[in-house]
Amino acid sequence: MVWLWWLGAVVAAAAVSGGDVTYDGRSLIIGGQRKLIFSGSIHYPRSTPDMWASLISKAKSGGLDAIDTYVFWNLHEPQPGQYDFSGRRDLLRFIKEIQSQGLYACLRIGPFIEGEWSYGGLPFWLHDVPNIEFRTDNEPFKFYMQNFTTKIVNMMKSENLYASQGGPIIVSQIENEYQNVEKAFGDKGPSYVRWAAAMAVGLNTGVPWVMCKQDDAPDPVINSCNGMMCGETFVGPNSPNKPAMWTEDWTHFYDNYGNTTKVRPAQDIAYHVALFIVKMNGSYINYYMYHGGTNFGRNASAFMLTSYYDQAPLDEYGLIRQPKWGHLKEMHAAVKLCSQTLLYGTKTNFSLGSRQQAYVYNGGNGECAAFLVNTDAASDAEVRFQDQTYRLPRKSISILPDCKTVAFNTAKVSSQYSTRTMKPVVKLDSPERWQEFDEAIPSFSDTLLRSDSLLEQMNTTKDASDYLWYTASYQQSEELQSVITVDSRGHVLRAFVNEVFFGSRHGIYRNQSFTLETDAPFKSGVNNISLLSIMIGLPDSGPHMEGRASGLRNASIGDKDLTYYSWGYQVGLVGEKLQLYTEEGSSKAEWSKFNHSSQQLKWYKSNFDAPEGADPVALNLGSMGKGAAWINGESIGRYWISFPQPNGSPSQI
């Protein structure tokens, strides 16, 4: 038996060989051999441990050599010095699964990661460390950052997981896209970069460190590129002795609530990978993401969908997405046919036309490989190369591993297009299957936390809940409709007077602040104002995150300013405190039969038998409004059906 709860607002192989990892200007060098590596990002907490083996196997079958993952500090150290590596957090198990399937691992420790992950992976308790400034030359921050980084490195060392110990880890990352914010910290930015690099290198892992999007990464740390077109946008290695590495080749555009999904074609990904190889001498390409997975619980950052990079080569459920998976597999195979020539041969390039180029690699024993490039996005081209004619589709690259035969063209897709279908196996549309629990709407007299001003939300909740109630007791001499105005810094507001719902507003991803201005019914005498401010995840990027603000900023009734007024606060919901989403918590509460009341805040409970078979199981919440869902006590994430895309359809059901 499976128990389902949700809270909603009602609305109509062989092991890899080890050895020291070094590098030169051409590639990473593993066990004395140059390597051309295709890698893919799979984040262990965005899937379940039972999925890991299959995901890694499908990645390997797709022609990948390595699996890349961030390390999620806020999951592993939820409180200072208290560590958790259980369940989906079992990093060691994940790395060992990679090793067991004969692939390399790339460990992006950060420990700031961004990644559309809540608070960019930083644990919120850092916010309350005295005198702390995140990601700058600040002693408190550096202390905790070094402590966690050292913890992870020592864990890997203790299990002999670095390649220098015979393990699979061939590269690690410190920091993440720091150049995007560095100028905001003045002189402390560059000094922090130098410190972070020296700290990481001093941990003596026996493998290189990288800094992505950090053009001035200090030696011996490698600067790498993130983006969709690194063959065109990368400034290149900052030393002739460093290889060109692409740590994030974005296979999709991340999705947030209310946006229009943009799909990146397989042809475009393949073209830019091949261009990076020939134009930048690229020898390391990591697909971000290869499998995106699910933002379980409250781990998605502000306004991000629960589904993450569903358009990756492996979709949210771990199913192969064609033609993306197959097209890239074919490219990997074609490149590998000539990888030794690429890595050890001599490169020349010359024009084949106004917008066509040939990149030719010649080996010492007569080997020859060629990449014929057509950068013209409007027209196909016919070119002559070594006395033969080749037709190059617009914006494409042909790979000739022997300088004669086209093994692959980036624009020509031979893989069949796949369609994901979902079959209803359990219907939960009968009222008799459901029970409900009304969430209490608190009044000022119910609260223990008080303030004479509107408190900032994140500092008040400490990330213990998405929800913060602002309550006030307001005296009025007569019964009338009054205009209430509330300014919020995000993300959602539900407003009640005397437990009667009177209005709701929300922000959007690019403009999270908003104003609710509407008439509200006030009675003669004392009125209870209850304002529920809801966050859809913490921020994940930008400078000075410790100073970011959310929640209510100003409030007024008519001409009376209530910003500096006596306010009472309740962090979280009663149902969260009772843990209604667990079997034990649910059994202690009094549930009612399902009814169609207008109560805005409810908990719903049902149960179903797990479907037979091993196919992924999804929950369709298309008839709901906004809330969160749990199965067997595990939060499977937020949903927000009532915030549609521009075409009117939900961002995710």
- Which residues are known catalytic residues? 177, 248
Q: Are 634 and 296 in contact (CB under 8 A)?
A: yes
Tell the residue number behind the tokens 């910003």, with chain if given: 563
- Residue of 271, 388, 278, 269 whose CA lies nearest to 321: 269
What is the C-alpha separation between 607 and 228, in angstroms, rounded?
A: 44
Residue 350 CB-density burial (10 A; 0-12 exposed, 13-18 middle, 19+ buried): exposed
- Residue of 180, 284, 271, 311 whose CA lies nearest to 222: 284
Residue 43 CB-density burial (10 A; 0-12 exposed, 13-18 middle, 19+ buried): buried
> For the chain, how big is the Rg over CA atoms in Å?
27
- Residue of 164, 121, 71, 215 whose CA lies nearest to 540: 121
Q: How far apart are the first and last CA of the chain?
A: 23
Burial 308-321 (b: 16+ CB within 10 A, else e): bbbbbbbbbbbbbb
Compute the half-sphere exposure of residue 338: CA atoms within 13 Å on the CB side of its CA: 32
DSSP conformation letters of 347-381: EEEEEEETTEEEEEEE-TTS-EEEEEEE--SS--E
- Residue of 229, 226, 250, 271 whose CA lies nearest to 375: 271
What's the Cα-to-Cα distance from 66 to each of 25, 37, 47, 244, 407, rounded to whole Å? 20, 7, 18, 17, 23
- Residue of 473, 474, 465 whose CA lies nearest to 550: 465
What is the C-alpha separation between 484 and 479, in angstroms, rounded?
A: 15
| Three-class secondary structure of residue 469 per DSSP | strand
- Residue of 491, 489, 494, 490 whose CA lies nearest to 470: 494
Strands of 356-362's sheet in order across:
346-353, 356-362, 368-374, 396-400, 408-409
| Three-class secondary structure of residue 346 per DSSP | strand
| Three-class secondary structure of residue 207 per DSSP | coil
Q: Computed from CA positions of residues 563, 568, 572, 575, in that sequence, does the dihedral angle turn out positive or negative?
A: negative
Cα 461 to the chain's mean position, in Å? Answer: 23
Q: Are 592 and 602 in contact (CB under 8 A)?
A: no
Residue 461 CB-density burial (10 A; 0-12 exposed, 13-18 middle, 19+ buried): buried
What is the C-alpha separation between 326 and 416, in angstroms, rounded?
A: 8
